[in-house]
């Protein structure tokens, strides 16, 4: 079975802009953002969907979701945040991931590079 893109990122075979990382999870910038600051939270081991995830990792993931939402409001000055996670036939990539998508009332003109710097320079 061929590795999916997130397994390749986790194995260092593909590059990514890492916002946060611990022993189980990684937060990266989405390469094709739907809004400035669009991030993805991915498990470091291959987990297909929410039903395959152990409770400890799922609980830790929820804490990271909250932390990234806070960054969207405080660092990126977002007016709202969309959190999206798909399972089964809804998944384009069959590796569990959560989209954190900041939303803005007015156009945010920051580049992906500027957003990456802002997010990584404001570590907690």
**Which domains, ranges and CATH numbers included, belong to the chain?**
5-120 (3.30.428.10)
Q: What is the pTM of this model?
A: 0.92
Q: How far apart are CA 121 and CA 117, in angstroms?
A: 6
- Spot the catalytic one: 38, 95, 97, 99: 97
CB 75 within 8 A of CB 8: no
* Percent of the chain surpassing pLDDT 70: 97
Q: How far apart are CA 10 and CA 41, in angstroms?
A: 12
In this predicted structure, the answer to whether residue 74 has a pLDDT above a threshold of 90 is: yes
Q: Specify whether 97 is catalytic.
A: yes
pLDDT by residue (tens digit) across 12-40? Answer: 999 999 999 999 999 999 999 999 999 99
In this predicted structure, the answer to whether residue 72 has a pLDDT above a threshold of 60 is: yes
């Amino acid at each position: 079975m061929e590795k999916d893109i997130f397994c390749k990122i986790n194995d260092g075979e593909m590059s990514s802009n890492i916002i946060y990382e611990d022993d189980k999870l990684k937060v990266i910038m989405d390469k094709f953002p739907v809004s400035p600051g669009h991030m993805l939270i991915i498990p470091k081991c291959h987990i297909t969907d929410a039903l395959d995830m152990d409770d400890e990792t799922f609980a830790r993931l929820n804490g990271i979701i909250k932390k990234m939402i806070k960054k969207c409001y405080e660092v990126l000055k977002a007016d709202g945040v969309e959190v999206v996670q798909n399972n089964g036939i809804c998944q384009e990539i069959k590796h569990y991931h959560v989209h954190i998508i900041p939303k803005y009332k007015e156009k945010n003109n920051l580049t992906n590079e500027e957003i990456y710097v802002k997010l990584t320079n404001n570590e907690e």
